[in-house]
């Protein structure tokens, strides 16, 4: 699983899962463009990886267009796009305001649409791989996650349709659906719980494998789908959750 002489653009790459993906792709030989709203984090990682840092908001068309154009101009091509950037807002349809609903889908769905829209013309005819980071929330739901679940389920449908639309152009499109992954975001969530250790034990109990995932686990799945090892795989959703969803959680 190598990406030698390939150029990859990873959104939401300054921390957590996105950072793990960018680091893994660089290890595999890719030149990586790091896109994130946190410009300082993006620039710091890009320096480590000798890549390209781009600051912006995935939900803004101009930022998506600029990110793709800058990647092609400065790194010479665009072979792999990983749509990782996402947010998670909680609430029922009664609790969420229309602005919150729009923001949730704006980042998690519109952002993917925008980056794909601008990336596909640069991949058409020369091949390319798009990996969308969805979630186990696309298949199993938790109460109070209506907007997040809708966005992640929608992303699975989008992935399948794009695989049909662009397969004849040499572009493969797949999704990775993570479960619980230990990231700074999860650590902040744990810190907000009344009993951090009890919450962690409960979460671990969801996983037949006895542990939660790491960014590296997701990065390895993305590398597989982006590489030639997956040259005949498109339109699929790879669940990476330590059998959590199989156990009914």
* Separation CA 119–CA 162 (nearest Å): 12
Cβ atoms within 10 Å, residue 227? 19
Question: Which is the catalytic residue, given 113, 148, 180, 182?
Answer: 148
Q: Which residues contact 102 (CB under 8 A, 6 or more apart)?
A: none
Give one DSSP letter per residue of 122-134, joined into a string: HHTTT-EEEEEE-
148 is catalytic: yes
Q: Which residues contact 106 (CB under 8 A, 6 or more apart)?
A: 59
The CA-based diameter of the chain, rounded to the nearest angstrom, is 54
Residues designated as active site = 148
């Amino acid at each position: 699983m190598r990406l030698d002489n390939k150029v990859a653009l990873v959104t939401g790459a300054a921390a957590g899962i996105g950072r793990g993906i960018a680091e893994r792709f660089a290890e595999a030989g890719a030149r990586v463009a790091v896109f994130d709203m946190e410009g300082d984090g993006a620039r710091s990682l890009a320096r480590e990886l000798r890549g390209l840092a781009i600051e912006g908001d995935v939900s803004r068309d101009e930022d998506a267009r600029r990110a793709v154009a800058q990647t092609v101009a400065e790194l010479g091509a665009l072979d792999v796009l990983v749509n990782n950037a996402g947010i998670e807002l909680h609430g029922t349809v009664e609790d969420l305001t229309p602005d919150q609903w729009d923001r949730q889908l704006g980042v998690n769905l519109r952002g993917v649409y925008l980056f794909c829209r601008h990336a596909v013309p640069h991949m058409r005819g020369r091949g390319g791989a798009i990996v969308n980071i969805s979630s186990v929330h696309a298949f199993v739901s938790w109460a109070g996650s209506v907007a997040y679940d809708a966005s992640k389920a929608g992303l699975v449908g989008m992935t399948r349709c794009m695989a049909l639309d662009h397969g004849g152009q040499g572009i493969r499109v797949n999704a990775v659906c993570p479960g619980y992954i230990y990231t700074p975001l999860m650590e902040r969530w744990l810190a907000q719980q009344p009993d951090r250790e009890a919450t962690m034990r409960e979460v671990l109990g969801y996983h037949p494998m006895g542990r939660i995932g790491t960014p590296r686990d997701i990065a390895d799945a993305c590398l597989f789908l982006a590489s030639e090892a997956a040259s005949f795989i498109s339109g699929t959703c790879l669940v990476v959750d330590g059998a959590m969803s199989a156990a009914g959680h």
